[in-house]
Amino acid sequence: MQTINRTQLFRASCLALLVTSLSFGIRAGILNQIGSQFNLDKTDLASITATAFWGFPIAVVIGGMIVDVIGMKRLLVMAFLFHLTGILLTVFATGYWTLFISTLLIGIANGTVEAACNPLVTTLFPESKTTKLNHFHLWFPGGIFIGTLIVLLFTKLNLSWQIQVGVMLIPALIYGYLFSKLDFPVTERVSSGVSMGGMYKAIASPLFIFMFVCMCGTAITELYTEQWVPVLLKNIGNPILIVTATSGVMVLGRGLAKPVLHRFPPQVVLLMSTTIAAIGLYLLYSSIGNVFIDAIVFGIGVCYFWPTMLGFVNQNLPKTGALGLNLMGGAGMFAVSIYTIYMGKYYDSIVQQANGDSSFAGQKVLYVTLFIPIVLIIAFVGLVFYMRTKNKTQPLQQVAV
């Protein structure tokens, strides 16, 4: 008989997500070093970085399709093997293609972690899905926060970027060991008896499609900006500290998700978040104030994006199951990958037109990106009114937040 220890499973899940986020934080901090060592321009760096973002959706979508069949444990063992291989290949990289392949493998590993852990969290905590997803996902900005501090410390100690990447092996080995020893439940869709046909029908609903599209915008606003701020704003001193400030406030915000989500429904939280994110992005672009305060405002805005988008879908469209969660994550990361490649080329074209002067290229990229949260504000205003109308026409029921 299986003994499900949800506390240990949740902690191991957080460790796995920590490895995922460390890869973002450390990569954000070492992009310029890698570019200099291997003579890579911004287009090359964007292509390498983008592989993590499109490796993620490939893994998360495939994982979402097979997790109900093979189980979450087997999926997480695969994630560990991808992480291990990707990290080691990055440490011993010799140029563009080894960096490209290793980053792709880490992206696949990251997507596989989310493909298993998102449905695991909602299965373990059916009474507080959105809150626990926020608590789980606080380890994403938490890992970026830790990763950027590692970059700052190790750079000050004159330790190589290879050693900084190698640090990720420690939590990877720990989470791989923990998951190998623990028993797992079946997914929520399987336990509730929802058929595959019922799941695909739920995914085809207009509300899911709307949230799927919005996920592209929220992911770009959050992840593209965080990953590229050290490059875009390299002329302002030490831009890695901006990433550290943003990530720190996101950790606090997601840690306080329970009282926020008990006070406001998820759709209202998303509207408020988008509005604040747009203000923060405008402040970063315009550089009219203190850049670290601007980063904190931006961090407050984006901190609830990812987990609350997932929580909203699982809460309001529970029949979409693990596949619904993972399609949302895949949409977000795929959108970021495409946007990253496009904006890398845009950045280089600006520098070319300015005869090599990159002083204002980063601000121009942020200006273009600002239009995404502005459009999202309009979309989430519509969502708030739609849910208000929908809730008036349906009987009141207990909502798991």
- In the predicted model, what is the mean pLDDT of residues 326-333? 89
Q: Which residue has the tokens 């670290």?
A: 292
Least reliable range by pLDDT among 50-54, 124-128, 169-173, 196-200: 50-54
pLDDT of residue 136: 93
- In the predicted model, what is the mean pLDDT of residues 272-301? 88
Listed in sequence order, the residues at least 6 apart from 347 whose beta carbon sits closer than 8 Å to its beta carbon are 42, 46, 231, 232, 358, 361, 362, 365
Residue 396 has pLDDT above 70, yes or no: no
Least reliable range by pLDDT among 4-13, 127-136, 242-251, 305-314: 242-251
**Whole-angstrom distance, CA of residue 355 vs CA of residue 349:** 10
Reported for 86-90, long-range contacts at CB under 8 A and 24+ positions apart, including other chains, are: 87/165, 87/166, 87/168, 87/169, 87/172, 88/169, 90/162, 90/165
Residue-wise pLDDT tens digits, 174-195:
999 999 999 998 877 777 777 7
> How large a percentage of the chain has pLDDT more than 70?
93
**Whole-angstrom distance, CA of residue 364 vs CA of residue 373:** 16
Supply φ then ψ for residue 289, to 5 degrees: -130, -160
pLDDT of residue 358: 78
- In the predicted model, what is the mean pLDDT of residues 156-183? 91
What is the total count of domains within the chain? 1
pLDDT of residue 401: 63
User: Regarding predicted confidence, which is higher, 278 or 69?
Assistant: 278
> Which stretches does DSSP call E strand in 207-304?
none
Instruction: Supply the CATH number for residue 120's domain.
Output: 1.20.1250.20
In a domain, 397, yes or no: no
Residue 265 has pLDDT above 90, yes or no: yes
In a domain, 52, yes or no: yes
- In the predicted model, what is the mean pLDDT of residues 143-155? 82
pLDDT of residue 1: 44
Q: What is the DSSP string of 228-271?
A: HHHHHTGGGS-THHHHHHHHHHHHHHHHTHHHHHHHS-HHHHHH
Least reliable range by pLDDT among 110-114, 196-200, 240-244: 240-244
Give this prediction's pTM.
Answer: 0.81
In a domain, 396, yes or no: no
Return the CA Rg of the chain: 20
The token duo for 80 is 């560990």
Write down the mean pLDDT value for the chain: 87
The token duo for 211 is 């949230």
Secondary structure element (H or E) that encloses residue 317, with its range = none
- In the predicted model, what is the mean pLDDT of residues 154-158? 86
- At 399, is the secondary structure helix, strand, or coil? coil
In a domain, 226, yes or no: yes
The token duo for 72 is 């979450």
Listed in sequence order, the residues at least 6 apart from 206 whose beta carbon sits closer than 8 Å to its beta carbon are none
Highest mean pLDDT pick, 217-221, 227-231, 287-291? 217-221
**Whole-angstrom distance, CA of residue 89 vs CA of residue 93:** 6
- At 239, is the secondary structure helix, strand, or coil? coil
Burial class (CB in 10 A: 0-12, 13-18, 19+), 153: exposed
User: Regarding predicted confidence, which is higher, 41 or 276?
Assistant: 276
Q: What is the DSSP letter of 398?
A: -
User: Regarding predicted confidence, which is higher, 347 or 252?
Assistant: 252
Residue-range definition of the domain harbouring residue 143:
6-391
In a domain, 1, yes or no: no
**Whole-angstrom distance, CA of residue 146 vs CA of residue 140:** 10
Cβ atoms within 10 Å, residue 354: 13
* Band of pLDDT at residue 394, cut at 50, 70 and 90: low
pLDDT of residue 129: 87
In a domain, 30, yes or no: yes
* 345 to 101, 342, 348, 352: CA distances (angstroms): 20, 5, 5, 10
The token duo for 198 is 């019922």
In a domain, 115, yes or no: yes
In a domain, 398, yes or no: no
Residue-wise pLDDT tens digits, 51-91:
887 788 889 889 888 888 898 999 999 999 999 999 999 99
Residue 14 has pLDDT above 70, yes or no: yes
HSE-CB of 55 using CA atoms within 13 angstroms:
24
Residue 304 has pLDDT above 90, yes or no: yes
User: Regarding predicted confidence, which is higher, 74 or 145?
Assistant: 74
